[in-house]
């Protein structure tokens, strides 16, 4: 039989003719095929580039009648992305989730998580364990509809190699028909960007198992059961780095600093493998890599071993993720601002200034959808390596341009400055302070002091005041010093804020036990404050009060008491008799009188001042608690244990409740209650209190702090007294 294909002939000259035993088609775009007497089975197209494909008859069987070749597995491109360690919980979830073979419909699970967290590796290694129960096992890169179609077409070719010449769309259709007509297969769809891309495929399938990996955490509710994958624990990350290094090198491996490197990389598997491969090739130690990462972060986040897939470096994975959020420009800005805060528990309110609330919330929602951040209630969490990348300028990355990174730092600083409470004494504000303090710490850690702005100095000084009030004197002193240097640089030495910072630095010296430096700086600052602000300015009175109290503590009562008396008189005149700072001055003067042995003036002044503090500030205000403690101490000095002991107990309970067990004021109250017990001969009750006080005080302040040395001396004397059976009084 001879057959011609082409357009329908309009006149006789268009008809095919046999010439010399050949079949001829003479019309425009006509095709002539000689099948030598057999049926024609194939594909014919006409046009400028004519294609004729002839297929054997068995290649055109219905897909449902085609059996898969035995052991048809395609996972190599995923298995090759890295070694596999741990993930027992996630593998168990997959085992349970795929217990059904999908007879009543396809069983679909989605592994979702941050880019680089190991989704593809987990999917590939779990799928590899299914060789005895699934055939074929086929992985497809499915980040776009086009790559999904290409992967399905490859599956059709693997099922029936004779179909290799068909068009991609025809092969895709045959693969879908084959999947719909068979059971026992496992399909891995890797890196799906949009759940909508796989809906058409899933809608046509009634059987089988499909494992999806995606950065998208949302949109899967009616498509797939979720398997969230988080950053592995430190031991698993270290095991991954060790595997990479030991497999890549036949020589002994230097693992010095390996755990620290994994921690710096946030234990993210892709980053750990990237670093390990680089180390194996460069023969660097982990500690040397850490130094290079600190000095040249932009370069190191891009750098990998020779031949390593450039798309799989952390910098590129991060960039691709934000590229997919191009329709939400604010997303990149939000991420750059979040980069300067602590990784966890970032209050959403810190982003309020970035734009209109709906726009900010949209950016947060999109970032969470792509696993770039985690949104929980009123806070956000960001992986520390994502933060490190986001705050590392890179002119080649549109999401990390130097100007944008610098602007984000300023936005983060202003946001913190606006969010910090205006007072650090009121316990009602402490919850807010404690929530914001980790973010102040992070901002300080990741910025050089020489780049501090006026807003940054304000944030650091305010945080120092809160830390000082909470008894964290060493941390407070560091912030006071940095804020003072920055304010002097920016505002000048005589600016009121600079003078206030110098007073705070002196307080820091005092609190850490360096009284000589503290007094010298108080004297210098007082002179400058009187010259610039005047003798009656509240800041001048504060510095004068601090200097007088420092004199009192060192025993220089000849200078302390007149200065404290003058300060109290001036504060009553300038601020009023009931002003909190006036009450503080009255308390400090009474303490000076006690130090001078003048209990006749100290006790009445303590008593009346405490009553006023309770009336004005409330019984649980920290200043009222200090005044109550000082009155109890005065009663102890007067030998009145009947009044002193119960007052110390009540004061200790209140301080522990309001200030915390480890606040220095609580520690001194505990030590002084022990002194009251000791004086009364109750040594068995005194000893554990002093031991506990010394342990905490040494840990917080150090063994050489004057308060630590005093308590250590008391404990040694107490133990000697117990040994001798006598009630020798404490120091």
Summarize pLDDT for 33-60 with one digit per residue, the tens.
544 444 444 555 555 555 555 665 656 6
Show the tokens assigned to 67.
Answer: 């059996």
**Whether residues 213 and 85 fall in one domain:** yes
Distance CA 688, CA 685 (A): 6
Indicate the helix (H) or strand (E) that contains 34: strand 31-34
Distance CA 523, CA 214 (A): 64
Reported in sequence order, the residue ranges of 263-387 that DSSP labels E, i.e. its strands, are: 346-347, 373-376, 379-382
Q: Does the N-terminal peptide bond of residue 170 adopt cis geometry, omega within 30 degrees of 0?
A: no
**Whether residues 362 and 415 fall in one domain:** yes
For residue 432, the SS3 value is helix
Among 251, 284, 312, residue at a domain's last position = 312
Indicate the helix (H) or strand (E) that contains 476: helix 473-491
Mind listing the pLDDT tens digit for each residue in 444-495? 999 999 999 999 999 999 999 999 988 888 899 999 999 999 999 999 999 9
- Whose structure tokens read 């969010």? 419
Q: Rounded to two decimals, what is the model's pTM?
A: 0.73
The string of DSSP letters for 272-303 reads: HHHHHHHHHHHT--HHHHHHHHHH-HHHHHH-
Q: Specify the CATH number for the domain of residue 127.
A: 3.40.50.300
Q: Does the N-terminal peptide bond of residue 136 adopt cis geometry, omega within 30 degrees of 0?
A: yes
Distance CA 372, CA 317 (A): 11
Please give the share of the chain, as a percent, with pLDDT higher than 90.
Answer: 50
Mind listing the pLDDT tens digit for each residue in 221-233? 888 888 998 888 8
**Whether residues 282 and 164 fall in one domain:** no
Mind listing the pLDDT tens digit for each residue in 436-445? 999 999 999 9
Q: Residue 88 has what pLDDT?
A: 83
Q: Residue 14 has what pLDDT?
A: 44
Would you call 671 exposed, middle or buried from its count of C-beta atoms within 10 A (0-12, 13-18, 19+)?
A: buried
Say if 24 falls within a structural domain: yes
Q: What angle do CA 681, 684, 687 make, to 5 degrees?
A: 100
**Whether residues 89 and 204 fall in one domain:** yes
**Residue range 402-431: mean pLDDT, rounded:** 92
- Of the candidates 612, 725, 605, 712, the one whose C-alpha atom is nearest the C-alpha of residue 667 is 712
Show the tokens assigned to 524.
Answer: 């210098």
Say if 132 falls within a structural domain: yes
Among 371, 387, 419, residue at a domain's last position = 419
Length of the chain in residues, anyone?
A: 731
Say if 576 falls within a structural domain: no
For residue 414, the SS3 value is helix
**Whether residues 182 and 75 fall in one domain:** yes
Mean pLDDT for the chain?
Answer: 85
**Whether residues 279 and 248 fall in one domain:** yes
Q: Is residue 575 over pLDDT 60?
A: yes
**Residue range 709-720: mean pLDDT, rounded:** 87
**Whether residues 10 and 82 fall in one domain:** no
**Whether residues 36 and 69 fall in one domain:** no
**Whether residues 337 and 358 fall in one domain:** yes
Q: What angle do CA 68, 71, 73 make, to 5 degrees?
A: 95
**Whether residues 137 and 239 fall in one domain:** no
Reported in sequence order, the residue ranges of 559-699 that DSSP labels E, i.e. its strands, are: none
Distance CA 354, CA 411 (A): 8
Among 290, 312, 334, residue at a domain's last position = 312
Count the Cβ atoms, other than its own, within 10 Å of residue 190: 22
Say if 594 falls within a structural domain: no
Q: Residue 101 has what pLDDT?
A: 56
Distance CA 628, CA 631 (A): 5
Q: In the beta sheet, which residues pair with residue 382?
A: 373
> pLDDT tier at 11 (50, 70, 90 boundaries)?
very low
- DSSP summary character for residue 210: E
Domain membership of residue 244 as a residue range: 234-312
Distance CA 447, CA 439 (A): 12
Say if 212 falls within a structural domain: yes
Say if 289 falls within a structural domain: yes
Say if 661 falls within a structural domain: no
Q: In the beta sheet, which residues pair with residue 17?
A: 24
Q: Specify the CATH number for the domain of residue 385.
A: 1.10.10
Among 8-22, 336-350, 530-544, 677-691, the least confident range: 8-22
CB half-sphere exposure, 150, CA atoms < 13 A: 7
- Of the candidates 437, 436, 441, 407, the one whose C-alpha atom is nearest the C-alpha of residue 334 is 407
- Of the candidates 438, 509, 500, 437, the one whose C-alpha atom is nearest the C-alpha of residue 473 is 509
**Whether residues 113 and 129 fall in one domain:** yes
Count the Cβ atoms, other than its own, within 10 Å of residue 446: 15
Q: Residue 339 has what pLDDT?
A: 94
**Residue range 658-686: mean pLDDT, rounded:** 88
Q: Is residue 186 over pLDDT 50?
A: yes
Mind listing the pLDDT tens digit for each residue in 638-662? 999 999 999 999 999 999 998 888 8
**Whether residues 355 and 413 fall in one domain:** yes
Number of compact structural domains in the chain: 4
Say if 563 falls within a structural domain: no
């Amino acid at each position: 039989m001879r057959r011609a294909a082409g357009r329908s002939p309009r006149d006789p000259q268009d008809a095919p003719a046999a010439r010399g035993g050949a079949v001829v088609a003479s019309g425009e775009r006509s095709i002539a095929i000689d099948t030598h007497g057999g049926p024609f089975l194939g594909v014919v197209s006409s046009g400028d580039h004519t294609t004729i494909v002839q297929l054997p008859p068995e290649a055109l069987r219905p897909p449902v009648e085609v059996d898969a070749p035995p052991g048809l597995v395609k996972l190599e491109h995923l298995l090759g992305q890295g070694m596999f360690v741990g993930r027992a919980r996630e593998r168990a979830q997959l085992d349970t989730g795929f217990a059904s073979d999908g007879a009543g419909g396809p069983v679909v699970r989605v592994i979702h998580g941050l880019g680089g967290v190991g989704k593809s590796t987990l999917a590939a290694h779990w799928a590899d364990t299914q060789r005895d129960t699934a055939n074929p096992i086929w992985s497809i890169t499915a980040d776009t509809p086009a790559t999904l179609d290409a992967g399905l077409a490859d599956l059709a070719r693997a099922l029936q190699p004779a179909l290799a010449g068909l068009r991609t769309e025809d092969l895709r259709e045959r693969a879908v028909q084959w999947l719909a007509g068979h059971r026992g297969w496992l399909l891995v769809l890797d890196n799906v960007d949009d759940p909508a891309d796989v809906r058409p495929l899933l809608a046509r399938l009634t059987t089988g198992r499909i494992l999806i990996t995606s950065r998208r955490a949302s949109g899967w509710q009616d498509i797939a059961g979720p398997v969230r994958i988080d950053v592995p624990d430190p031991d698993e990350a270290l095991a991954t780095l060790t595997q990479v290094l030991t497999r890549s090198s036949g020589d002994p491996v230097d693992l010095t600093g390996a755990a620290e490197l994994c921690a710096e990389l946030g234990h993210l598997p892709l980053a750990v493998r990237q670093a390990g491969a680089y180390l194996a090739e460069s023969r660097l130690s982990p500690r040397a890599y850490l130094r290079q990462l600190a000095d040249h972060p932009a370069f190191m986040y891009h750098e990998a071993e020779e031949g390593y897939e450039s798309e799989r470096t952390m910098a590129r994975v991060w960039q691709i993720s934000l590229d997919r959020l191009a329709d939400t420009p604010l997303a990149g800005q939000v991420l750059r601002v979040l980069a300067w805060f602590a990784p966890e528990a970032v209050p959403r309110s810190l982003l309020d200034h970035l734009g209109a609330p709906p726009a900010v919330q949209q950016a947060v929602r999109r970032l969470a959808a792509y696993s770039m951040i985690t949104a929980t209630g009123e806070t956000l969490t960001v992986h520390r390596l994502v933060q490190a990348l986001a705050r590392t300028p890179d002119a080649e990355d549109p999401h990390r341009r130097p100007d944008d990174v610098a602007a984000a730092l300023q936005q983060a600083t202003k946001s913190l400055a606006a969010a910090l409470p205006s007072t650090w004494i009121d316990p009602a504000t402490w919850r807010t302070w404690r929530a914001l303090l980790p973010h102040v710490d992070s901002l300080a850690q990741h910025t050089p002091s020489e780049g501090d702005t006026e807003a940054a100095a304000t944030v650091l000084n305010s945080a120092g005041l809160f830390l000082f009030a909470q008894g964290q004197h060493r941390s407070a002193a560091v912030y006071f010093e940095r804020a003072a240097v920055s304010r002097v640089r920016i505002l000048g030495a005589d600016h009121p804020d600079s003078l206030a910072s110098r007073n705070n630095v002196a307080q820091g010296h005092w609190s850490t036990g360096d009284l000589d430096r503290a007094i010298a700086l108080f004297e210098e600052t007082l002179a400058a404050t009187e010259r610039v602000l005047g003798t009656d300015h509240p800041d001048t009175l504060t510095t004068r009060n601090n200097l007088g109290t420092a004199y009192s503590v060192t025993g220089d009562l000849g200078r302390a008491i007149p200065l404290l008396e003058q300060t109290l008189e001036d504060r009553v005149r300038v601020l009023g008799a009931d002003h909190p700072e006036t009450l503080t001055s009255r308390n400090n003067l009474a303490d000076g009188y006690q130090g001078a042995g003048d209990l006749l003036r100290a006790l009445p002044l303590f008593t009346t001042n405490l009553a006023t503090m309770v009336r004005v500030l409330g019984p649980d205000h920290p200043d009222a608690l200090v005044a109550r403690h000082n009155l109890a101490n005065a009663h102890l000095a007067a030998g009145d244990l009947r009044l002193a002991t119960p007052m110390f107990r009540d004061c200790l309970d209140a301080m522990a409740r309001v200030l915390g067990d480890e606040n220095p004021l609580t520690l001194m109250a505990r030590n002084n209650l022990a002194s009251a017990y000791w004086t009364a001969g109750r040594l068995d009750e005194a000893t554990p209190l002093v031991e506990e006080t010394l342990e905490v005080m040494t840990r917080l302040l150090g063994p050489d702090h004057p308060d630590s040395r005093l308590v250590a001396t008391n404990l040694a004397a107490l133990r000697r007294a117990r040994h001798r059976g006598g009630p020798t009084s404490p120091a």
